[in-house]
Every structure is written in C-alpha cells, then in structure tokens.
Amino acid sequence: MCQTDGWSDTLKTTTGWIHAICAAMALSGAAVAQEHEHEEMHDEPAGEHSMDASIEMRHGNASISLNGKTLEYDWSAGTMPVLDDTTGETRAEVFHIAYRVASDEPRPVTFVFNGGPGSSSVWLHMGLCGPKRIVFANDKGDPTPPPYDVVDNEFTWLAWTDLVFIDPVSTGFSRPAEGVEKSEFHGLEQDISSVGDFIRLWTTRNDAWGAPKFLCGESYGTTRAAGLSVYLQQRHAMYLNGIVMISSALDFGTLRFGAGNILPPALYLPTYAATAHYHKALERDLQRKGLDDLLAEVESFVVEEYTPALLLGDRLDEAQRAAIVKKLTRYTGTSEAFIDRVRLAPTIWRFTKELLRDQERTVGRLDSRFQGIDADPSGDSTERDPSYDVILGPYAGAINQHLRGELGVTEDRVYEILTGNVRPWDYGSDGNGSYVNVAPRLAEALRINKDLKVEFHSGYYDLATPYFATEYVISQLHLDDELRDNVTHVLYPSGHMMYLHLPSLEKQSRAARAFYENTLKEH
C-alpha cells in the first residue's frame, strides 16, 4: 500500500505488529451482538406517505462559480425502481439526485452514499462532494445559529466527475413498494444487492456503461462499497475504476469493544492520544510534541508493549501491569485509577466521559474535537455524542431547503436523514454471531480487477472508525506486491466527517482529484 503526507515512516508494518495483532484476532472469541451502528443513530418516525412509493423525476440545470469560472450542470431528482429479476415487478423506489456536466467525452460517474446503516446521502452531498455546501461558523466546523446558509461548493467533485447520490431503501425518500416487506432491504446482503441493482439500472437508463465508474462511501457506506466491489463484478459484470473509502468500517472486529476482543483497545489508543493532545490534557512533555511525533510514539507502544500486554491478560505480572498503567495514563490524559478500573482497556464511551471530567465536559465520538455537557457529570459513560448534535440541525435544514427549493421536490413525507427504522439489521452469516468483515471481498475485487484503485480517508480525531484500525485492515488485505500500490491512505486533522474542518475539506478535494487523475491517466 501507499502512504501520503510522509506517513510511511510513521506507520510501519513490522513482523511483530502483524504477529501480535493476528494473535489478538485468534483470541478474540465470539463477538458481541451488532446492536449499535457506526454512526450515531436516533429512531425517527417514518412519516406518512402515499401508497405509491415513487416520486416523479424532476430535471433542470444550474450553475455555480468555481475558481472564477462558471460550471454549468444538469440535475435530476426522483425515484428509480429496484426490480424483481424474475417478475420485473417493482420491489422498492430508490430516491437519488444526479448532477452531470455536458461533455464530448464520457466523464467519470461516481455513486455516492453514506452509512449508518440507516443514513441518507446528505452528509457527503451537502458537506463534501455536491455543488452546494453548508456554511459553518469557523474553520473548525462549529455551526452557525439557525437557519443555516448554503453556498456554492468551491471544492465540489463535480469539477471532475458526474455524481449520483443514493439514498438506500428506508432512508431519504426511498421506500419499499406497496406490499413489500422492508426487511427485504435491511441487511448486509440485501442492501448490497438492492443498491447494486440500482447502480446497474441507472447506468443502463443513462447510457453510462462507457463511463469510468467510481464508488464513494462513508462509514457503513464503506462496508457497502466493499460488498459492491464484488457484487457488481459477479452479478452485473460491471468493473469499477476506483473506490473512495471515507472513515472505513470493513472489519467490525476492529471497532466493537467486547469481552475477549483486544483489537479495539489497541487500535483506538492512538486516537485517544490525539484527542487528549487536542484538548491539552497530556503531561507537558507530551503536549509539546507535534501530533505526528506523538502518534509515532504511541503507535510504537501499541505494537511493542500494549498489544502483548493485552494478550497476556491475567498472566501479566504486577510490575509489567504497573508500567502499562503508567504509560496508558500518560497517553490518554486520564488517571491511573481510571485505567486500573477499566482493566487497561478503556471503551469509547468511558474515555469520552473521563477525559475532561474535571471540567464537567465530554468529547465527541464522531469527532473528538467537539465538547458536550451531560446532565449527570458523575456518570461512567457519555449520554450522547456532542459531535452529532452540532451537525444534525445544519445538514437536515440544508438538504430539506435544497430539495424543496432549488430542486423543487415537493414531498410531504419525511426525508429520513439518519433513521433507526432499518432495525433490526440482518448481518447474515457474516455478522450474526461473529464480527462482520468485508475486507476479504475488497481484496478479491482487487485481485480480479487489477486496474481497480482504492483510496482510504481517515481523521485523527475519529472515535467511530479510528485511523489505526484502517491501517490494520489494509495490512490484512494480503495483496500481491503488484497490487499494493493500488491502495492508498490519506489522513486529516479532523474527525469522522473530516470535511467539517475547512482546511481538511480543501485537502480532501485535492486528494480526491489527484486520485481520479492517477486512476484514469492510462484510460
């Protein structure tokens, strides 16, 4: 694999690391149930809607100012059916918004979706890729008072690729057809097949088989993208050019804290340290270090000392345990009593509660740069994610105004931003009783299609899908030397949605454009 921004020296895949982490996997045992999703979820009413789940396609054209020039584009918004292969009957209506630029040559087309599961595509649409973006109060990404402004997105991916934003069934305006159970779409395999079949039909109806094709997924959207990489190959003989994986969740065993699974404590520690450094909670000598230097030190500790200690468990002698407690205290900015109480393995929710306990503040999970206030400052775990609270209102307001204003989609039904109505989610044989791991599917797609390129994007302050977990997953793809350069990883001083941070948004746009150009340079 390739690193960017000089991280090849920082993140070294040593024999000791691989042996220690693989041993951790062997000892992880049975998984806990998959009842919590990667993005903060809130149950929302599904809303009343007509018996007909379809929404008539609307079309128009618009323009934005881009680097002093005018970029004109066509847009379309509405539903397209997911069809039964045998009967041809409509099983669901999938709402989507497409933006296309007229060109004499086939332009790339990128199919974009978020995760959840249960999320619409609003976050990538109005935050990163689309022609419009939300205005925040400052470079950090703090919200302005409502109502929220939307401006031309000078970083839009529409400058180099056409875009199709997909809302999976039960999200956005997408709904099952009358008489069809929603459970037919609410599961790992069901979701992959319905989204994949939509992509095939959209490509056919829009005469895009001759266009280079990319996927862009975020969070559980990367789980979907990895599954689609193989599904599209095998079911529809559709080979992709590239996949952008934002805040990836390919191996849930790296993200789910549970009895016997020592991977998350090890892989989350660098992000705990980055978070403590951001909030100036570390001891003076560590606080003086630059973030890159600090993380290099913590990663070495994880590989050389912390993971072996976790493997030893109760066999760790008293002196060894005391040494690990002291270092964990230093790197997490917490106390020895706390580290001892959590048995050397602080979970996300306990760390986000503990770090700033003396200030009666919590830190975010999606983005640990943000602080919150709990009703009960004495509790063991945070009551909610403050980094979700700062984004929900702006994004919901922006997409509803964009839909009903610029696009003229006049629907009474609720546009489901991020819904719990997809529960229970069926993880099938890949997740009901074991951790979901779709990384082998991505590796298979790369071996089958040697021209496929994949770029991962991670934020240092993401406590939902930490960057070091992504490094570990990439190292376990076991790709042939010929293919390793097909996978790259870009890191940002931001969180799960790194584009909230304005400098990271600019950097991410540059990185994505370079990825497309490098992927297509021989096209």
pLDDT digits (tens, 9 = 90+) for 241-293: 999 999 999 999 999 999 999 999 999 999 999 999 999 999 999 999 999 99
Can you give the pLDDT at residue 430? Answer: 63
Distance CA 498, CA 459 (A): 6
Q: For the stretch 382-402, what's the b/e string if a residue is b when 16 or more beta carbons lie within 10 angstroms of its beta carbon? A: bebbbbbebbeebbbbbbbbb
Distance CA 37, CA 52 (A): 30
Distance CA 467, CA 472 (A): 9
Distance CA 35, CA 503 (A): 35
Distance CA 317, CA 433 (A): 33
Counting beta carbons within 10 angstroms of the beta carbon of residue 206, is it exposed (0 to 12), middle (13 to 18) or buried (19 or more)? middle
- Evaluate whether 499 touches 462 at the Cβ level (below 8 Å): no
Instruction: Kindly give the residue spans of alpha helices, DSSP state H, lying in 333-466.
Output: 336-341, 348-354, 386-401, 439-448
- Evaluate whether 370 touches 386 at the Cβ level (below 8 Å): yes
- Evaluate whether 158 touches 456 at the Cβ level (below 8 Å): no
- Give the torsion through C-alpha atoms of 389, 394, 396, 402, to 10 deg: -170
- Give, as one character, the DSSP assignment of residue 259: T
Tokens of 345: 């393995």
Distance CA 145, CA 155 (A): 24
Can you give the pLDDT at residue 47? Answer: 37
Cis-peptide into 45, omega within 30 deg? no
pLDDT single digits (tens) 111-165? 999 999 999 999 999 999 999 999 999 999 999 999 999 999 999 999 999 999 9
Can you give the pLDDT at residue 479? Answer: 97
Containing H/E element for 504?
helix 502-520
Helix, strand, coil percent content, the chain, rounded in steps of 5 = 40, 20, 40
Can you give the pLDDT at residue 52? Answer: 76
Distance CA 471, CA 112 (A): 23
Tokens of 475: 């190292």
Q: Is 506 helix (H, G, I), strand (E, B) or coil?
A: helix
Distance CA 166, CA 171 (A): 9
Residue 188 CA to its chain's centroid (Å):
16
- Give, as one character, the DSSP assignment of residue 383: S
Q: Which residues, 6 or more positions from 304, have their beta carbon under 8 angstroms from its beta carbon?
A: 16
Whether the CA torsion 369, 374, 378, 382 is positive or negative: it is negative
Containing H/E element for 76?
strand 69-83
Ranges in the chain, pLDDT < 70: 1-51, 430-433, 523
